[in-house]
């Protein structure tokens, strides 16, 4: 529908920026205000645990657009401004500084925050997390001064950080509750490859290990106590144990939340004047059948943030379409690139293709291809995206057969 009092977006990150930019591209002429609590221009997060942390990318390289873009496109970016409440009856956003912003349509693009480590000592100096640019800046300094690093959590961010730190010759131990790295996200084959790759960099893993406390001296971290009683000495601890969606604004305004702000296939909440996109949103996906009981998911990825921003912009510009984009993701760890198309877990078959150095794992659920993990096989990833998006039938036997022409299948040339 038409927006009369303008568009207000809470969260000036990847998704919030995208909906604004795509609306201007579509010729949307109403006022747009991006409200964000961070000080910087809207920026991309992936380099924070990769090139930026390693010193290969500078600050400007992170920005989604230079400052001039916003003025030229009539997008008001209010930095360091926190939204504190939604007055749905009055269609106004309430700001923490006491200000009020009327809206015609409100977009919640508030992202997610890191899950805190629920043990004593987690507040000690030297215990850090990585979400924003300010975290990355603090970590860059902390790495310089660190000797012994413990990473809690062998997820994507923990592993990317571990690879950067190990490449600098620092002692890095990764403590993980599950039995393998990235256990929730990838197949056993891919986990095993990355375990070895990190070990080759000098990273030590402790699996099926719990953290019971962070120990300190003089307010600073000195070690990580494990559930088995052992203490790992540490002067820097990076906690990467997953995220919590920033859904409180929606919940307080009476909108449905359940590990994410609930939206329909058009990314709308139950209030037609409020939508939610990106890391904070839980939505129905055609690719989530068998992934969750109700077929809804919440996805933390650049692809999802951008595609949902575009999808919502199309609706607000008068061309509504349900969100049905194929999920895809990447992670750079050391010299290896992992690319994932589709939603792989749970899987009932995981079929490898390729060599030990560069391979893909084709994952099947209920007899259908559900996801493809590619390690240093960008070609497979592009083919997989086509196959999955089109729903092209593929059997585990075909995937396993090195003579089977996957590219021809993806291109529709049998």
In three state form, how does the secondary structure of 78-101 look? Answer: ECCCCEEEEECCCCEEEECCCCEE
Tokens of 351: 């079929």
Shortest distance (Å) from residue 90 CB to ligand FAD = 18
CB nearer to ligand FAD: give 163 or 232: 163
> What is the distance between the alpha carbons of residues 44 and 25, in angstroms, rounded to a whole number?
20
CB nearer to ligand FAD: give 305 or 406: 305
Report in angstroms the alpha-carbon separations of 34 from 29, 106, 368: 15, 10, 41
> What is the distance between the alpha carbons of residues 61 and 43, in angstroms, rounded to a whole number?
9
Shortest distance (Å) from residue 93 CB to ligand FAD = 9
153 lies in the site for ligand FAD, by CB under 6 A: no
State which of residues 121, 278, 344, 352 lies at the interface with ligand FAD (CB under 6 A): 278
> What is the distance between the alpha carbons of residues 173 and 176, in angstroms, rounded to a whole number?
10
**175 within 8 A of 152, measured Cβ to Cβ:** yes
**338 within 8 A of 190, measured Cβ to Cβ:** yes
Closest CA to 262 of 301, 221, 218, 296: 296
Point out which residues pair with 205 in neighbouring strands. Answer: 174
Shortest distance (Å) from residue 229 CB to ligand FAD = 32
State which of residues 5, 30, 38, 273 lies at the interface with ligand FAD (CB under 6 A): 38
34 lies in the site for ligand FAD, by CB under 6 A: no
271 lies in the site for ligand FAD, by CB under 6 A: no
**DSSP assignment letter at 287:** T
**328 within 8 A of 385, measured Cβ to Cβ:** yes
CB nearer to ligand FAD: give 308 or 409: 308
CB nearer to ligand FAD: give 289 or 303: 303
Tokens of 198: 């990190």
**DSSP assignment letter at 289:** B
Shortest distance (Å) from residue 79 CB to ligand FAD = 10
CB nearer to ligand FAD: give 274 or 351: 274
Scanning 1-9, 33-41, 313-321, 342-350 for contacts with ligand FAD by CB under 6 A, the matching segment is 33-41
State which of residues 157, 186, 211, 274 lies at the interface with ligand FAD (CB under 6 A): 157
Question: Using N-to-C axis directions, what is the helix angle for 156-167 and 133-145, rounded to 10°?
Answer: 40
> What is the distance between the alpha carbons of residues 43 and 266, in angstroms, rounded to a whole number?
26
CB nearer to ligand FAD: give 49 or 173: 49
Shortest distance (Å) from residue 408 CB to ligand FAD = 29
302 lies in the site for ligand FAD, by CB under 6 A: yes
110 lies in the site for ligand FAD, by CB under 6 A: yes
Contacts of 125 (CB under 8 A, 6+ apart): 216, 219, 220, 221
Point out which residues pair with 34 in neighbouring strands. Answer: 9, 77
CB nearer to ligand FAD: give 14 or 296: 14
State which of residues 3, 7, 9, 10 lies at the interface with ligand FAD (CB under 6 A): 10
CB nearer to ligand FAD: give 189 or 303: 303
> What is the distance between the alpha carbons of residues 300 and 319, in angstroms, rounded to a whole number?
25
For the CA atoms of 79, 83, 88, 91, what is the dihedral angle to 10 degrees? -30
Scanning 55-63, 302-310, 347-355, 380-388 for contacts with ligand FAD by CB under 6 A, the matching segment is 302-310
Q: Which residue has 């590990």 as its token pair?
A: 259
CB nearer to ligand FAD: give 46 or 284: 46
CB nearer to ligand FAD: give 83 or 347: 83
State which of residues 22, 49, 173, 350 lies at the interface with ligand FAD (CB under 6 A): 49
15 lies in the site for ligand FAD, by CB under 6 A: yes
**DSSP assignment letter at 318:** T
Binding marks (x or -) toward ligand FAD, 326..345, rule CB under 6 A?
---xxx--------------
165 lies in the site for ligand FAD, by CB under 6 A: no
Shortest distance (Å) from residue 233 CB to ligand FAD = 26
Name the site residues for ligand FAD (rule: CB under 6 A): 10-16, 35-38, 45-46, 48-49, 82-83, 109-111, 130-131, 157, 246, 249, 278-280, 300-303, 305, 329-331
């Amino acid at each position: 529908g038409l927006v009369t009092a303008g568009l207000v977006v809470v969260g000036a990150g990847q998704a919030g920026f995208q909906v604004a930019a795509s609306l201007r591209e579509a010729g949307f002429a109403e006022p747009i205000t991006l409200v964000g609590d961070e000080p910087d221009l809207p920026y991309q997060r992936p380099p924070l645990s990769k090139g930026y942390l390693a010193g290969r990318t500078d600050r400007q390289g992170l920005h989604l657009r230079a400052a001039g873009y916003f003025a030229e496109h009539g997008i008001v970016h209010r930095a360091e401004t926190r939204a504190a409440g939604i007055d749905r009856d009055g269609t106004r956003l309430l700001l923490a500084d006491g200000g009020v912003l009327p809206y015609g349509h409100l977009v919640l693009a508030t992202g997610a925050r890191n899950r805190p480590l629920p043990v004593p000592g987690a507040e000690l100096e030297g215990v850090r997390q990585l979400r924003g640019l300010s975290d990355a800046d603090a970590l860059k300094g902390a790495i310089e001064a660190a000797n012994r690093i413990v990473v809690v959590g062998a997820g994507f961010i923990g592993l990317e950080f571990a690879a950067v730190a190990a490449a600098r010759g620092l002692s890095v131990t990764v403590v993980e509750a599950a039995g393998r790295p990235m256990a929730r996200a990838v197949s056993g084959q891919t986990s095993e490859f990355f375990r070895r790759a990190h070990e080759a960099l000098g990273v030590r893993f402790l699996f099926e290990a719990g953290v019971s406390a962070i120990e300190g001296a003089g307010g600073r971290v000195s070690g990580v106590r494990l559930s088995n009683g052992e203490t790992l000495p540490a002067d820097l601890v990076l906690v990467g144990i997953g995220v919590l969606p920033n859904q409180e604004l929606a919940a307080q305004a009476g909108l449905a939340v359940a590990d994410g702000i609930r939206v329909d296939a058009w990314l709308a909440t139950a209030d037609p004047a409020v939508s939610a996109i990106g890391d904070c949103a839980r939505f129905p996906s055609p690719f989530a059948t068998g992934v969750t009981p109700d077929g809804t998911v919440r996805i933390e990825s650049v692809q999802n943030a951008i595609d949902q921003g575009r999808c919502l912009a199309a609706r607000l510009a008068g061309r509504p379409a349900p969100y049905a984009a194929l999920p895809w993701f990447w992670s750079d760890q050391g010299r290896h690139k992992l690319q994932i198309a589709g939603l792989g877990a749970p899987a009932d078959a995981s079929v490898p293709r390729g060599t030990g150095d560069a391979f893909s794992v084709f994952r099947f659920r209920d007899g259908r291809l559900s996801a493809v993990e590619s390690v240093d096989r960008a070609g497979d990833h592009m083919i997989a995206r086509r196959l999955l998006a089109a729903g092209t039938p593929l059997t585990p036997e075909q995937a396993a057969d090195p003579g089977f022409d996957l590219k021809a299948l993806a291109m529709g040339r049998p």
